Structure 1
């Protein structure tokens, strides 16, 4: 009975505090986690500059969090769908800043770009039409599955 009274009293005394606070649960905890030795495949189909910029931002930051170590860290961005035209040589002037950034991320071998050859062909592109920092694979979906079988974590 005493336990029940104490619980009710604790609840009653906390009500005014909760009613006056915009943060009834306090603030988020900041966890200090060290990331390393991650292999990740990004499935990328976005057709917007903002979407591709987000993928590049996320992969770049993930690489930094993993220590940017090419022996323990690998990120593969598989390109298919509406993202393909960004990587076309003929569109370089239009997407120069985006492509310069993508190419710079590929330096060092941690982040790789692989494009679905089948999807590129369906949009009228051949390997000679795509920037040289991109590698063509026969099929984007099959490449994603293969990488997952090799232990890569899937990201979209």
Structure 2
């Protein structure tokens, strides 16, 4: 084997070793960052009940997770006054409990306008965003959120 071939192989091995070390430190650093997840709700009260249960389970498994719930269309209904699940329980206390754990709730303004719902009636822990769909896309594309649709 010539010296040139040996040097090429040695260079390739060094490059691979450097890349492997970089990948190990990069993934180790990102493992410490909290998981970011957007839960997308647009189907109504049954989906909301499932989502809130899923989110509670998610936080039990990973209390550091950063969770944002984005709702539009019928998905906003659980954040309106008097909304109840199939068992007759209101959503208010569950939303407040999850908010205290850092979960953010966002509501589509287009939905509020099209359904003629006064924004003041939306649960006070929810933030109104211009568009629910655009917010989901923004969180995924610009902030690196994973997407979950219960």
TM-score, normalized by length of structure 1?
0.66
Q: 1:147 pairs with 136, 139, 150, which one?
A: 139
Q: Highest Rg: 1 or 2?
A: 1
Aligned mates of 1:112, 1:38 — CA distance in 2: 14
Q: Is the Cα contact below 8 Å between 1:76 and 1:114 reproduced in 2?
A: yes
Q: 2:36 pairs with 31, 35, 39, which one?
A: 39
Q: Is the Cα contact below 8 Å between 1:43 and 1:144 reproduced in 2?
A: yes
Q: Does 1:52 align with 2:45?
A: no
Stretches of structure 2 that go unaligned for 5 or more consecutive residues are 1-31
Aligned mates of 2:71, 2:109 — CA distance in 1: 9
Q: Does 1:97 align with 2:90?
A: yes
Aligned to 1:106: 99
Stretches of structure 1 that go unaligned for 5 or more consecutive residues are 1-34
Secondary structure in 2 matching 1:97 = coil
Aligned mates of 2:131, 2:110 — CA distance in 1: 6
Q: 1:125 pairs with 117, 131, 144, which one?
A: 117
Secondary structure in 1 matching 2:135 = helix
Q: Is the Cα contact below 8 Å between 1:42 and 1:75 reproduced in 2?
A: yes
Q: Is the Cα contact below 8 Å between 1:36 and 1:65 reproduced in 2?
A: no
Which contiguous aligned blocks of 4+ residues in structure 1 show a shift greater than 6 angstroms?
none
Aligned-pair Cα RMSD in Å: 2.3
Shift of the alpha carbon at 1:36?
7.2
Counting matched residue pairs gives: 116
Q: Is the Cα contact below 8 Å between 2:78 and 2:84 reproduced in 1?
A: no
1:88–1:97 CA distance, 2 compared to 1 (3 A): closer
1:93–1:76 CA distance, 2 compared to 1 (3 A): closer
